[in-house]
């Protein structure tokens, strides 16, 4: 099966999440890897047995290099379905690109990694271990996918980790974390003919909103070299029921992006302090319902990193990075598995993912494969002769 047929086949096995049933695609990866002589384990959490992961391994001992790609995709939204110009699960080729749901996110990186495993399998021996993790559940946060695998000790400590995502074939060394929170203001409702007898929760919330907006502008002063500044966005507001009553409740939901090294507990404390600093009496306000996902960052200073950057430069003839990666990835769940550097890397742009007519250019896909093969040749393959 050539490289294009392999990627077509992966696109032809739908794996939208939700529902997140990855059994068919995980089985396909496992079968292909076993056919070339790899050991392949298949694991799924009891809480979601259809979220099947495949971990394939070839070689033995140290060093250990991990290739990681997720096998679930986002679902096709109702508003998106009619915008597709091709069958999203056919893997159609058009104008030098391969189209399909999941084609770039994340099946092209997965296919390049499978090709790298196949190339490694053809060597007489490897100077270490190459591991492919085909992970479920990334599109819904990875709690029952990569995080579950890492927490249960199913992933060995690795000296270099490549997480496949869309970075324009450059080495990305950081992404932001996300914190969501809800702020609720409470007042007292009266008839709108005499609003001064009530306590308007929307007016109270407007002061909180101004304070959070000022906080967002202050955050611009904190700068991470590749992902930029933290942000605070107020994305949802909900309050009142009719124009002729003073509203007794108002809620906002905010999205606070955390740059690497910002600790969630410290960020929560900052948000609480801002809310408390606003004089709202007699209205009351509180913040809660915090949920967050971690940021990721890595150094890029090991020999593996240096070799990886030079492989990129040689193939794409451009600056190899480091760059930031704006969306999140499973790299955040692998920080304890990485005993060396870790990069997010793969073809194309995340802006093409999660949308109608998702595609990967064959040139970008080939470059991803070429970079991985070059890297293995210089790290895990024994010297020729």
In the complex, the residues that contact Zn ion under the rule CB under 5 A are 105-106, 165
**Smallest separation, CB 70 to Zn ion (Å):** 6
- Spatial distance between the Cα atoms of 198 and 243, rounded to a whole number of angstroms: 14
Closer residue to Zn ion, CB minimum distance, 103 or 379: 103
Closer residue to Zn ion, CB minimum distance, 105 or 341: 105
122-147 as b/e: b if 16+ CB within 10 A: ebeebebbbbbbbbbbbbbbbebbbb
Closer residue to Zn ion, CB minimum distance, 142 or 239: 142
Q: Which neighbouring-strand residues pair with 228?
A: 224
Closer residue to Zn ion, CB minimum distance, 57 or 330: 330
3-class secondary-structure state, position 11: helix
Residue 61 token pair: 């001992």
Closer residue to Zn ion, CB minimum distance, 105 or 262: 105
- Spatial distance between the Cα atoms of 82 and 96, rounded to a whole number of angstroms: 23
Element (H, E) at 242: none
Cα distances (Å, whole numbers) of residue 263 to 11, 181, 284, 292, 342? 38, 15, 27, 11, 20
**Smallest separation, CB 144 to Zn ion (Å):** 16
**Smallest separation, CB 109 to Zn ion (Å):** 8
**Smallest separation, CB 199 to Zn ion (Å):** 46
Locate tokens 């296919």: which residue?
Answer: 111
Query: In angstroms, how far apart are the furthest CA atoms of the chain?
Result: 92
**Smallest separation, CB 30 to Zn ion (Å):** 20
Closer residue to Zn ion, CB minimum distance, 11 or 120: 11
**Smallest separation, CB 17 to Zn ion (Å):** 11
Q: What are phi and psi of 60, to 5 degrees?
A: -155, 155
Instruction: Bin 186: left if φ > 0, else alpha if -120 < ψ < 50, else beta.
Output: beta
**Smallest separation, CB 349 to Zn ion (Å):** 12
Closer residue to Zn ion, CB minimum distance, 165 or 248: 165
Q: What are phi and psi of 210, to 5 degrees?
A: -60, -40
SS (H, E, C) 273-329: HHHHHCCCCCCEEEEEEEEEECCEECCCCCHHHHHHHHHHHHHHCCCCCCEECCCCC
**Smallest separation, CB 105 to Zn ion (Å):** 4
Closer residue to Zn ion, CB minimum distance, 71 or 252: 71
């Amino acid at each position: 099966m050539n490289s294009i047929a392999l990627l077509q086949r992966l696109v032809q096995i739908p794996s939208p999440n939700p529902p997140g049933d990855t059994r068919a695609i995980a089985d396909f990866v496992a079968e292909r890897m076993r056919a070339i002589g790899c050991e392949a384990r298949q694991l799924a959490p009891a809480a979601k047995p259809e979220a099947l992961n495949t971990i394939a391994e070839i070689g033995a001992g140290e060093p250990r290099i991990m290739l990681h790609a997720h096998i679930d995709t986002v679902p096709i939204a109702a508003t998106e379905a009619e915008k597709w110009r091709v069958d999203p699960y056919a893997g159609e080729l058009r104008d030098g690109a391969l189209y399909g749901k999941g084609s770039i996110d994340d099946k092209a990186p997965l296919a390049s990694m499978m090709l790298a495993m196949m190339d490694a399998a053809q060597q007489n021996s490897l100077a270490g271990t190459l591991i492919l993790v085909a992970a479920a559940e990334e599109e819904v946060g990875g709690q029952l996918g990569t995080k579950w695998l890492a927490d249960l000790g199913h992933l060995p400590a690795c000296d270099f980790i490549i997480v496949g995502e869309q970075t324009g074939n450059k080495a990305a060394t950081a992404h932001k974390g996300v914190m969501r929170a809800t702020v609720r203001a409470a007042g007292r409702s009266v008839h709108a003919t005499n609003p001064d007898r009530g306590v308007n929760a929307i007016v109270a919330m407007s002061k909180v909103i101004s304070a959070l907006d000022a906080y967002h502008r202050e955050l611009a002063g904190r700068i991470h070299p590749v992902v930029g500044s933290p942000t605070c966005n107020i994305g949802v507001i909900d309050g009142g029921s009719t124009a002729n009553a003073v509203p007794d409740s108002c809620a906002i939901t905010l999205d606070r992006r955390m740059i690497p090294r910002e600790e969630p507990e410290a960020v929560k404390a900052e948000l609480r302090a801002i809310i408390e600093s606003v004089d709202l009496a007699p209205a009351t306000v509180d913040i809660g319902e915090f949920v967050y996902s971690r940021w990721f960052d890595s150094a890029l200073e090991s020999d593996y990193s240096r070799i990886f950057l030079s492989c990129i430069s040689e193939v794409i003839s451009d600056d190899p990075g480091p760059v930031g990666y704006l969306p999140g990835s499973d790299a955040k769940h692998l920080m304890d598995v990485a005993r060396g550097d870790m990069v997010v890397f793969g073809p194309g742009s995340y802006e093409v993912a999660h949308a109608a007519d998702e595609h990967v250019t064959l040139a970008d896909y080939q470059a991803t494969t070429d970079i991985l093969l070059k890297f293995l040749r210089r790290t895990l393959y024994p010297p020729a002769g």
